[in-house]
Amino acid sequence: MLTAKNKKKSRLSNINREYDIIIVGGGITGANILWDATLRGYRCLLLEKSDYASGTSQATSKLIHGGLRYLKNLEFSLVRESLRERRILAKITPHAMRPMGFLIPIRSLYAKLILWAGMFLYNLFSFDRNEEILDEVKIPRYIWNSFEETIYKSPNIHPKNVIGSFQYYDYLNVNPERHTCEFIFSAKKKGAHAYNYAKVSSISKTFSGKAYQVKIDDSISGETIYTQTKVLINSAGPWADYIDALAGIPTDTKIIRSKGIHAVVRNICDKECVVAQKRDGSHLFVIPWRNRTIIGTTDVRYDQHPDQFSVTEKDLQELIDDINYAYGFSNLTLNDIVYFYGGLRPLVEDTNHKDETYSASRKAEIFHYNKDGYPGVFAALGGKYTTSRSVAEKIVNQIDIYFGYTDKVCKTKDELLIGAYQKPRLELIRELQAKFPKVSGRKIEILTFRYGTIAEKMLAKPGKYEIPLANGEIFFEEEIDYLCEEEEIIKASDLFFRRSGIGTVGRLGREQLNIVIDHLAKKLSWDQKRKKEEMAEIEKRYLWNR
């Protein structure tokens, strides 16, 4: 039965008495499961204890890639799956994908031969890479660069012993946090329910034993509400084993956690991402991104509770030291860091790699706890951002079997998400310029580049001011209005670091920060105390633990 601690209207009041599927976890895996299951006609509810995409999904290298290095582990099926999913994401979310070249400096003929074999296989496994996608997101074949071409394309590479470089292509995903949210908001437009800041605090079997009662705590209002579901899916990432334990499922360790750190620094590279090798043989990316450079990632086993995760000065200093060694003439210091982020990768436990995680597989595993006495409880563990759509398809296929359906079909290979377009972006821009002749072409181009077709709804709003960001980009008043009205902005951090990314390129100036916070306060009815709290939370996000 649906109950609440008090009778006043709450934001959870629209929650149904029962669902076909409840999904715990609002990262990229949960978002894809919600999208797939909703398109198949299931009544779905997604619950996230923080904001959507605030865990592992915000801690990526912002790449949609096939996983070239997995070839070394002979994980051919994972590479093929990743390359297939890379193409599908370019098809259903072209507005979020940017083809980008990756340079791998070569310093010996032996390395050239080995990597040529890798390039050949990578190209072979991506034979269909450009099928059914727009020209603007098509990916070229790999090439070989001479020494001179390599240094021209990336002058900061240390030239010692370099004989040339291989250049291959994957995608840059400019804002994976927003991209994740687009799956959720697309599902909601099809009838799904989803709530951020809604924590699952208990899971228990109903009296009949054929369903599960879920207790939900609203972190914003403090209210508690109960609902039921026939199927429960645990997609809580690094918290997955804790959700299993909450349901009473035997807690044999099934995942390990890998700590990954990235830093956003001054621009130290050109148009291509450089793959640099560390002293221990592992690799770092030097990624051009929004007039900045992202460096990362680290890959260290993490054994504490995921709620205790933090990025320390020691973490960042080690990353800076590694990039200064591996990349060449960067000469970075902690003062060059304008933003940093980190997270925990949930990896399926591998007995061959218990002490280190860099070589651990990124494959996903799906569990149904029917044999443990919990029919209808599923878990998706491990995996990588790029293959999350495929993982969702597999788990919803199992749910179809569990319910006894034979006529449901996965539609996520073809269904476009909000923001996606089926025509070249330049054609969309021309149409918007004709529809909004009084709006500057610059604004139309910027908003279309960021949001795809959603730009039209933003341009329909009256906007007066512009906010210069720390990297030279411009942010518009219309963006705040639309995002507050349509995309569940609860806290300032939701806007700054996930829906728009205005805070991920460095601090705003005090004047600009005040303008944005004041506007949010007006849209969301914050008082002065709340404004100060939100301001302090934003400022705190740029401080690392010492």
Does 187 share its domain with 217? yes
**pLDDT tens string 72-116:** 889 999 999 999 999 999 999 999 999 999 999 999 999 999 999
Does 268 share its domain with 328? yes
**Domain boundary pick from 283, 313, 348:** 348
CATH number at residue 49: 3.50.50.60
Q: Detail the DSSP E strand segments found in 266-391.
A: 273-277, 283-289, 292-296, 300-302, 337-348, 364-368, 377-382
Check if the beta carbon of residue 144 is closer than 8 Å to that of residue 24: no
CATH number at residue 536: 1.10.8
- Is 10 among the domain residues? no
Does 366 share its domain with 392? yes
Residue 1: what pLDDT? Answer: 36
Does 430 share its domain with 493? yes
Does 301 share its domain with 431? no
- Rounded distance, CA 88 to CA 412, Å? 9
Does 534 share its domain with 432? yes
Residue 362: what pLDDT? Answer: 55
Backbone angles phi, psi at 264, to 5 degrees: -100, 125
Does 468 share its domain with 523? yes
- Is 318 among the domain residues? yes
For 427-478, the three-class secondary structure string (H helix, E strand, C coil) is HHHHHHHHHCCCCCHHHHHHHHHHHHHHHHHHHCCCCCCEEECCCCCEEEHH
CATH number at residue 121: 3.30.9.10
Which residues, 6 or more positions from 473, have their beta carbon under 8 angstroms from its beta carbon?
290, 291, 446, 505
Percentage, residues of the chain above pLDDT 90:
86
The distance in angstroms from the start CA to the end CA of the chain is 48
Residue 280: what pLDDT? Answer: 86
Q: Smallest Cα–Cα separation from 517: which of 537, 488, 540, 498?
A: 537
Does 96 share its domain with 182? no
Structural domain containing residue 525 = 425-541
Six-digit token string for 224? 């508690």
Q: Which amino acid is at 318?
A: E
**Domain boundary pick from 306, 325, 348:** 348
- What average pLDDT does range 493-521 have in this prediction? 97
- Is 467 among the domain residues? yes
- Is 82 among the domain residues? no
Dihedral of the alpha carbons of 219, 220, 224, 229, in degrees to the nearest 10 = -70
Q: Taking the complete model, does pTM exceed 0.85, yes or no? A: yes
Query: Which residues are paired to 259 by β-bridges?
Result: 300, 344
- Is 61 among the domain residues? no
- Rounded distance, CA 99 to CA 536, Å? 37
Does 395 share its domain with 529? no
- What average pLDDT does range 293-309 have in this prediction? 93
pLDDT at 6 over 50: no
- Is 6 among the domain residues? no
Does 169 share its domain with 281? yes
**pLDDT tens string 122-178:** 999 999 999 999 999 999 999 999 999 999 999 999 899 999 999 999 999 999 999
- Is 461 among the domain residues? yes
- Is 246 among the domain residues? yes
- Rounded distance, CA 267 to CA 289, Å? 8
**pLDDT tens string 221-257:** 999 999 999 999 999 999 999 999 999 998 665 688 9
Domain count, the chain: 3
Does 234 share its domain with 190? yes
Does 265 share its domain with 153? yes
- Establish whether the linkage from the previous residue to 29 is cis, with ω within 30° of 0: no
Six-digit token string for 531? 């404004």
